[in-house]
Structure 1
Amino acid sequence: KGRVLSGLGDPIDGQGPLRTTTTYPVMNQPPSPLSRKRITEALPVGVKAIDGLITVGKGQRMGILAGSGVGKSTLMGMIARNTEADINVIALIGERGREVRDFLERDLGEKGLKRSVVIVATSDQPALVRIKGAFVATSIAEYFRDQGLDVLLLMDSLTRFALAQREVGLATGEPPATRGYTPSVFALLPRLLERAGNSQKGTITGLYTVLVEGDDMNEPITDAVRGIVDGHIALSRNLAAMNIYPAIDVLNSISRVMIDIVPPTQMQAANRFRSLLATYQDASDLIDIGAYKKGANPKIDEALNHIDGLYEFLRQDIYEDALFEDTINHLHQSVGEQVVS
C-alpha cells in the first residue's frame, strides 16, 4: 500500500524495491460465472449523488463517462479518499506526465495514497506498456481480492487503453473498423473488464473512466463499455457550466444492481428525485423566459418548489466526505419526505 508503480509493475516512487515473493499472472482468467457471488451489498463511496441515486455495489463495474475537462479525475480523487473499500488500486493509463503528480498530491492526497497502490503508464510510453499497465493493475487488485479484501479498482482512462490497442492493431496489419478502432480493441475490452467483480474470497469494484470523444455518448468505445459494465455515471458539461460539481447527470446515469442493494424507501426517494428533476428540466425553457405561470401544471409547481433542494443535494465540496447515512437522510429531505430516525 502507498506505492507508485510503472506500467510493468516496477516501483517509480524512490522508496526502494517491493518486498514480496508472490507472483500473479498479468493475463489472468476472469472468475467462472457460477463461482461469482451475487452483488447484494452497497459500497459507499462518499459522494452524495452516487451513494443516494446511483448506488454502487461491492463487485460492480461502473463506467464514468465524460468529455474532457468536466471533472473525471477530481471525482476519482474524491472516491479514492472517501470510499469504504479496504484498499484502492488506481491505474493512470495514458495520462499526461504533469497530471500524475497533480493527481497524487492534490486529488488523492496523503489520506488517499496511504491505502492505495497506483500504477502509472503515461502517454509518452509505448502502447504495449500502456496496455500492460491496465492488466498489471487488475492483477494487483485480484491479489488483494484473494486476501479476502473489498478492493476498489479505479482506471483512468479506458479510452487511452483502447487507443493503445488500436495503435498495436494497426501496426500488426489489422483493418481499421469503426472510427479507426481495430477489431482487437473490442475483443480486449471484455477480457479486461470481466476480471473485476466478486469471487468466493473477496470483491473488486471497478470504476473505469471513458473520455467521450466530442461529447458524443454513442461513440464506439463509450457504446462498447456501456454494454459490458453494470451501470454508468455520466458527467454533464451543462451542470459543470452551472457550477454544480461533481457534474453528475443523474438522469442519464444508472446502476443496474441498485434495486438489489438498497432498501425500497431509498429506491422510492431516488425515483422521486429523478422525476422532479426531469419535470423541471423539461419545463426549464418556459420557466427561464417567464412564460410559465404558477398553478398551470401541478407537477411543474412541485418541481419548482423542490429544485433548490435537488441541486443542493447534487453539489458537494471536493474535500467533503459524505457519510452514507447522512446522504440518505439528505436525499429524503431534498424530495420533501419525512426522515425517520
Structure 2
Amino acid sequence: MAGWKSAGRAPSAGWGRTCPGRRCPVTTPDPGARWQEFLDSARQQAGAPQSTLEAGGTLTRLTGLVLEAVGIRAPVGSQCLVSQPAQPPVLAEVVGFSGDRAFLMPAGDVQGLSSGASVVPTAPYVATPRLGDAAQAQVASYAQGQLRLPLGPGLLGRVVDAHGEPLDRRGPVVNVLSRPLDRTPINAMDRAPIRESLDTGVRAINALLSVGRGQRLGLFAGAGVGKSVLLGMMARYTKADVIVVGLIGERGREVKEFIEDILGEEGRARSVVVAAPADSPPLLRMQAASYATGVAEYFRDQGQHVLLLMDSLTRYAMAQREIALAVGEPPATKGYPPSCFARLPQLVERSGNGLNGVGSITAFYTVLSEGDDQQDPIADAARAILDGHIVLTRALAEAGHYPAIDIAQSASRVMHNVVSREHFELARQFRAIASRYERGRDLVQIGAYVHGSDPGLDEAIRLSGPMSDFLRQDMYAGAGFEESVKAMATTIQREEAFP
C-alpha cells in the first residue's frame, strides 16, 4: 500500500508491482492489490445509503383490488410481501401513495388476509463483488425491491407466467440470468432505419401490406373475426430467429391450443410463450406484457431477429385501467384514465431495430375494437403510435373470407422503404381496382349497371373473383414473399410489370 497515490486508490493499470530494472516491459500481478480491490468493493456496498424500505409496515385496508398499508416508505414500482401467520405471503407492487399511506396491487390471491398483516419490501438486488473483477466494484444501481425476472436462452421452448415461472411442467427454467423487468427504450438516433422486408407467410400482407424488420403493427378487429388465427399463421411461417408470444388477458384454453395446434414442436423450439390469462390479476397481466417485451429485447441484443406477437394490447390497457381506477385516478375517455394512454407508447417503443442495427424486434399487437368501432380510444391511440395497421372486418369473416383483412382500411407505413418501385406500383393498382369494385358493387347487385358504360368498373367486375381468391388463404398453407408478389401480378393481369 505504500506505493499508492495520495488519492488512496491503487493505480488502475497494472494492479501490481513492476519488475526490477528499467528494461522490464511487463508487470506481475500483485495479490495484495487484488485483495484491496475486493475489500474496496465490499466497503462501498456496505456503506451504500440504505433507504427506509427495510422498515416493515402494516396492512390497514383492503378495498376491491387495492391494499393500503401504513408505516412503509416504498417507491412506486417496488415489490413487497404481505404476510400473516398461517397464510402464504402475497406478492404486491406499490402503485401509489398518499402521505404516509402506500397503495399496493396484489399479484396473487388475497383471500385470508386481514387487517394488521405485515407488509415488508423485498430485499434489494446487490451484485456480490468478485475478487479482482473491477466491473464489480460499483454497487448495483437497481432500486430496492425492483422486480427482476429471468432472461436467457433457457427460455426457448418454454411456457412461463408473468414472473418467469414455468407453466409447461418441464421442470425449472435453467441457463437464465436475472434482469430488471422494465428498460429504457433505445435512443431514437441509435436505431437503424427499417430497410429490409420481412416474409410473414401471409399472401395479403406480403403483397399489399409489406412488413419491414423492426416494424410495429396492430391487428385491429372485434372479437371472433380471426385475430388469433392470423397471429398463429405468422408465428408458423414468418422468417425469424426467435418468436416471443405474449398471451395477455385472453382465454386460458388458447395457451395450450396455440402451442400444440399452431406452433407445433418445430415452432416451439424457437419460441417463448408468456401467458397471463384473463383470470390473472391486473398487475400480472401488465407485467406479462412487459416481460414478453423484455424477453424479445434480450434476444434482439444478442443480434437475432425476433418476432413479437402480443394478444392483446387492449387487455394490457384494460389492466392498467383497473389499477388506475382502483387507486383513485379519475376516468377520462370511455373510462380509461390518462395513465393508460401514457403506458401504451412506453411499452410499444421498446420494440424495433436494435442498437446500431444489431438485431431487431418486429412486433404485431392485436387491438380489440369494441363493437368493431375503429374510433375506440385504445384503437385510436394504438393506430397513432404504431407503424401500420391491419384491419379485420366482421363482414368478411361472416362471408367465410379468411384472413378477414380489409385492404382498403389497412396500411403499412414503411412499405415504400422495403419493396421495389414495381412492387409498390402493383400494390397500388390492386388497391385501386378493389376500391373501384366496392364503389360500384351495389349497382351491379341490383342490376342497375350497364356493362360497357365504365371500362374501369368492367375490369373490376371481371377481376373481383380472382382478387378475392388471392386474398383468401388457408391457415395451414404459407406463401413466400416473391411468390405472393408474382401471384398478385398474375391476379390483376400485370405479369409484364413483375416478370
TM-score over 0.5 (shorter chain): yes
C-alpha separation in 1, matches of 2:209 and 2:256:
30
Q: Secondary structure at the match of 1:124?
A: coil
Residue in 1 that maps onto 2:242? 87
Residue in 2 that maps onto 1:103? 258
Residue in 2 that maps onto 1:309? 466
Does 2:324 correspond to 1:191?
A: no
Alpha carbons of structure 1 residues 291 and 111: separation in structure 2 relative to 1, 3 Å: farther
Q: Secondary structure at the match of 1:24?
A: strand
2:429 corresponds, among 261, 272, 277, to 272
C-alpha separation in 1, matches of 2:269 and 2:447:
52
Residue deviations 1:92-129 (CA, integer Å, cap 9, x gap): 00011122222222233333222210000011111000
Is the contact made by 2:166 and 2:172 (CA closer than 8 Å) also made in structure 1? yes
More strand by share: 2
Structure 2 gaps, min length 5: 1-155
Residue in 2 that maps onto 1:205? 362
Q: What is the CA-CA distance between 1:22 and the residue it aligns to?
A: 2.3
Q: What is the CA-CA distance between 1:220 and the residue it aligns to?
A: 0.2
Paired residues in the alignment total 341
Is the contact made by 1:177 and 1:183 (CA closer than 8 Å) also made in structure 2? yes
Q: What is the CA-CA distance between 1:78 and the residue it aligns to?
A: 0.3
Residue in 2 that maps onto 1:150? 305
TM superposition outliers: structure 1 runs of 4+ over 3 Å: none
Which gives a bigger RCO, structure 1 or 2 (Cα 8 Å, sep 6+)?
1
2:450 corresponds, among 269, 272, 293, to 293
Report the residue type matching 1:149 in the other structure: Q
Residue in 2 that maps onto 1:216? 373
Residue in 2 that maps onto 1:241? 398
More helix by share: 1
Is the contact made by 2:372 and 2:393 (CA closer than 8 Å) also made in structure 1? no
Residue deviations 1:276-302 (CA, integer Å, cap 9, x gap): 000001111111111111101111001
C-alpha separation in 2, matches of 1:140 and 1:230:
21
Q: Secondary structure at the match of 1:232?
A: strand
C-alpha separation in 2, matches of 1:102 and 1:96:
10
C-alpha separation in 1, matches of 2:396 and 2:427:
19
Residue in 1 that maps onto 2:115? none
Q: What is the CA-CA distance between 1:26 and the residue it aligns to?
A: 1.3
Alpha carbons of structure 1 residues 290 and 88: separation in structure 2 relative to 1, 3 Å: same
C-alpha separation in 2, matches of 1:331 and 1:24:
46
TM-score, normalised via structure 1 length: 0.98
C-alpha separation in 2, matches of 1:17 and 1:308:
53
Report the residue type matching 2:347 in the other structure: L
Report the residue type matching 2:188 in the other structure: P
Higher deviation after alignment, 53-62 or 109-118: 109-118
Q: Secondary structure at the match of 2:212?
A: coil
Q: Secondary structure at the match of 1:291?
A: coil
Residue in 1 that maps onto 2:386? 229
Is the contact made by 1:24 and 1:143 (CA closer than 8 Å) also made in structure 2? no
C-alpha separation in 1, matches of 2:160 and 2:382:
26
TM-score, normalised via structure 2 length: 0.67
1:115 corresponds, among 270, 275, 281, to 270
C-alpha separation in 2, matches of 1:330 and 1:24:
46
Residue deviations 1:60-82 (CA, integer Å, cap 9, x gap): 00000000100000000000000
Higher deviation after alignment, 76-85 or 11-20: 11-20
Q: What is the CA-CA distance between 1:24 and the residue it aligns to?
A: 2.7
Larger Rg: 2
Residue in 2 that maps onto 1:19? 174
C-alpha separation in 2, matches of 1:237 and 1:80:
23
C-alpha separation in 2, matches of 1:313 and 1:181:
40
- Counting aligned pairs with the same residue, the percent is 50
Is the contact made by 1:81 and 1:111 (CA closer than 8 Å) also made in structure 2? no
1:29 corresponds, among 184, 199, 203, to 184
Does 2:195 correspond to 1:40?
A: yes
Is the contact made by 2:286 and 2:316 (CA closer than 8 Å) also made in structure 1? yes
C-alpha separation in 2, matches of 1:336 and 1:277:
14
Does 2:163 correspond to 1:2?
A: no
Is the contact made by 1:73 and 1:107 (CA closer than 8 Å) also made in structure 2? no
C-alpha separation in 2, matches of 1:156 and 1:43:
20
1:281 corresponds, among 428, 435, 438, to 438
Residue deviations 1:219-273 (CA, integer Å, cap 9, x gap): 1000000000000000011111221100011110000000000001110110001
C-alpha separation in 2, matches of 1:148 and 1:286:
55
Question: CA-atom RMSD, angstroms?
Answer: 1.0
C-alpha separation in 1, matches of 2:180 and 2:199:
30
C-alpha separation in 1, matches of 2:475 and 2:192:
33
Does 2:283 correspond to 1:159?
A: no
Is the contact made by 2:394 and 2:404 (CA closer than 8 Å) also made in structure 1? yes
C-alpha separation in 1, matches of 2:262 and 2:336:
31
